[in-house]
Amino acid sequence: MKKLFAFSAFFLISYFGFSQILKPVKWSFSSQNINEKEAYLIATATIEKGWHVYSQDIGEGGPIPTTLTFVKSSDYKLEGKTTETPKAVSAYDNNFGMQISWHESKAIFKQKIKLNKPELTVKGTLEFMVCNDKQCLPPEDVDFSISVKAIKNNNLASADVKTTSIPENNEIAITANDSSSIVNDTVTAVTNPVSVDAIKISAKPIEDKSSKQSLWAIFIAGFIGGLLALIMPCIFPMLPLTVSFFTKKAESRAKAISHAFIYGLSIIIIYVLLGLAITIFFGSDALNDLASNGTFNFLFFLLLVVFAVSFFGAFEITLPNSWANKMDEKSDKGGLAGLFFMAFALALVSFSCTGPIIGTLLVQAASMGERIGPAVGMFGFALALAIPFTLFAAFPSLLKSLPKSGGWLNSVKVTLGFIELALALKFLSNVDLAYHWELLDREVFLVLWIVIFAMLGFYILGKIKFSHDSDLPFITIPRLFISIIIFSFTIYMIPGLWGAPLKAISAWLPPQTTQDFDLYTNSLSSPNIQQDTVKKKYAGLFKAPHNLDAFFDYEQGLAYAKSQNKPVLIDFTGHSCVNCRKMEASVWSDKEVLSRLKENYVLISLYVDDKTDLPESEQYVSKFSGKKIKTLGNKWSDFQASTFATNSQPYYVIVNNTGKALVPPQAFNLEIKNYTNFLDSGLTAYRKNNK
């Protein structure tokens, strides 16, 4: 049920924390000729100090072994098993409580193949898992593609080498003419190097997995948005009309299908061009910066409220009629251009329904930091719109299965209006927190959401009616189940008025520290009396979650840690950081984590988006970015970027009382065991260095 509640808002907008992910292993792939008919396929792992990659042969109940899987092909044949060098180290693994074989520093995996043709490409997947003595990272898959060209006289074949090194993650293609092994920064030597007559290196970017997953999320969100737009009253009634136009005007069914296909393709081109224009005009970095900008958040709050009121029927948001008329005139010309302008007219006329969905989708795509995100989102949106027109033109009989237009279309529009209104409050909350207005505390936010969703539930049941709504003589089964879900969500939120964490939606709510009456936090912990005697800088502006006693100034916190002989946990956070709230609600609330934070560390929380002005004497020009640092948020954002080479939140760094990092930092990760291991490893490193 919690996942259902959280998913209900996903398609409209989502903030994603941008984090540095640990990548302690770099892989490179190459080939080495043995003779005219045989070659080796080689996977080389370069492993950071302190980490290890597991062998192919380990016992059951342990970690994921390193496994090379090759795509079957008649072009080659595998000979024997994959070998690994150097010999794996056998040791007791604390993570799994068993004796396991692993590789440190470097590992080379070789697979011998028989060549059935002089030129071929071998594709496959490498699965591996990397751990240190305190924690393990999730198993990873690496897709590879190696081109092998047989060369006589035992010379090395040319090889395509793909490397998954971070951060470049590029594909390196190496071509050698009658040459032996080639050695560079990313490819392991496989034989003794000799002279190279000609080397041509070309770099082609390949997609890393995280980028691929982000783009898929944007595409799916766009597709869902397109499906919702399809059943809006501005578009749904046009389905049978447009299909009928194609079938009647065309000379044959084949002609009608081809016209509908071009029409659908035109819809996709128009919306994708819109996404590309947004990226080109603003730039992906600028769009990402806007997501945490106070002025932008307030303007987007107002925009969503306007869209919601429009969906409620107060007025229609339309583009100038002259635009649509011009498109209609051009569509009458016929031919391919006419179909394109006909699709353009659809986009203009339906803007009152699609505008809010498109606007929210573009913000979501931009917030994920993908350069082509807006275009991918618009492609998903347009594809959902285009498919039905093409499909129904090809099979007109399917139109009979469509529900008839009626009052239910307006109900969809009004329902989205309620959701837009609820989401608008999130943007207002971001501004309220950043500027310390203290108008939209957690319980006020929850009261508004409870009222909004309760009213939505009553609307679905027909108990609330707008002037443009049709009469509802009875409740249909879909309306009944939708109302049950909405009322269940509403009741779920009520305990939050007394401090219940509401983990399913905690990322959307103001921080727990803004709650005036909080029974839950008081039951978890109480403030540390000794640290409470310290007068903290900025204590009037910020509060730490779960009654943790935190500092909000780096220098002061570091000085206190030195006096107490404790390590420091730097918490780079933000008022508008959704994942920060999720970590605090889901991970920091755990008793094991909470006890470690209270007893073992001095916590310093630095808000990188706070709008509090620095005194004139403390303002400066950043040596890192060259920008004028005017606010408290500017100061901590600049400190994070210049010191730790990242600007993502949440970001957790454990340092000693001189500011030296003790263990690799952590980013957003809801696995509690991972976080306790992180805290324990930091404490161990601190004690070791202070003996």
Per residue in 18-71, pLDDT (tens digit) is 334 567 898 888 888 888 888 889 999 999 888 889 888 776 666 778 988 898
Report how far Cα 269 is from the mean position of its chain's Cα atoms: 25
Is 150:35 a contact under the CB 8 Å cutoff?
no
Question: Which is more confident, 162 or 592?
Answer: 592
Question: Per-residue pLDDT averaged across 258-277, rounded?
Answer: 80
Strands 98-103 and 89-93: antiparallel
Give the pLDDT score at 60.
Answer: 63
Question: Bridge-partner residues for 628, per DSSP?
Answer: 621
| CATH code of domain 25-165+170-206 | 2.60.40.1250
Backbone angles phi, psi at 416, to 5 degrees: -65, -30
Question: Which is more confident, 371 or 483?
Answer: 483
Strands 568-573 and 602-607: parallel
DSSP summary character for residue 588: T
Q: What is the location of CATH 2.60.40.1250 in the chain?
A: 25-165+170-206
Length of the chain: 691
Least confident residue range of 115-119, 335-339, 549-553: 335-339
Question: Bridge-partner residues for 124, per DSSP?
Answer: 70, 144
Place of tokens 């927190």: 433
Give the pLDDT score at 146.
Answer: 87
Give the pLDDT score at 302.
Answer: 86
Q: What is the location of CATH 3.40.30.10 in the chain?
A: 525-689
Is 366:288 a contact under the CB 8 Å cutoff?
yes
Give the pLDDT score at 571.
Answer: 95
Close Cβ partners of 594 (under 8 Å, ≥ 6 residues apart):
524, 525, 546, 548, 588
Give the pLDDT score at 333.
Answer: 57
What is the C-alpha separation between 413 and 234, in angstroms, rounded? 10
pLDDT band at 292 (very low <50, low <70, confident <90, very high): low
Residue 484 clears pLDDT 50, i.e. is over it: yes
What is the C-alpha separation between 413 and 205, in angstroms, rounded? 43
Question: Per-residue pLDDT averaged across 166-189, rounded?
Answer: 33
Q: How far is CA 487 from CA 130, 301, 413, 454, in A?
A: 45, 25, 19, 6
DSSP for 107-155 reads: EEEEEEEEESSSEEEEEEEEEE-EE-SS-BPPPEEEEEEEEEE--STTP
Give the pLDDT score at 619.
Answer: 92
Nearest to 457 by CA among 435, 424, 484, 475: 484
Is 137:81 a contact under the CB 8 Å cutoff?
no
Averaged confidence pLDDT in the chain: 75
Class of domain 525-689: alpha beta
Least confident residue range of 37-51, 191-205, 410-424, 638-652: 191-205
Give the pLDDT score at 289.
Answer: 53
pLDDT band at 219 (very low <50, low <70, confident <90, very high): confident
Q: State whether residue 657 is helix, strand or coil.
A: coil
Report how far Cα 110 is from the mean position of its chain's Cα atoms: 35
Question: Per-residue pLDDT averaged across 394-418, rounded?
Answer: 75
DSSP summary character for residue 32: E
DSSP for 464-519 reads: S--TTPPP--S--HHHHHHHHHHHHHHHHHGGGGGT---TTTTTTSPPGGG-SS-H
Give the pLDDT score at 294.
Answer: 67
Residue 207 clears pLDDT 50, i.e. is over it: no
> Does residue 86 have a cis peptide bond before it, meaning omega lies within 30 degrees of 0?
yes
H/E element, 193: none
Is 463:487 a contact under the CB 8 Å cutoff?
no
Token pair belonging to 178: 């009658």
Give the pLDDT score at 636.
Answer: 92
In the chain, the largest separation of any two C-alpha atoms, in whole Å, equals 89
Cβ count within 10 A of residue 20: 17
DSSP summary character for residue 350: T
Report how far Cα 59 is from the mean position of its chain's Cα atoms: 35
Q: How far is CA 18 from CA 378, 588, 649, in A?
A: 22, 19, 6
Per residue in 651-677, pLDDT (tens digit) is 999 999 889 999 999 988 889 999 999
Close Cβ partners of 285 (under 8 Å, ≥ 6 residues apart):
none
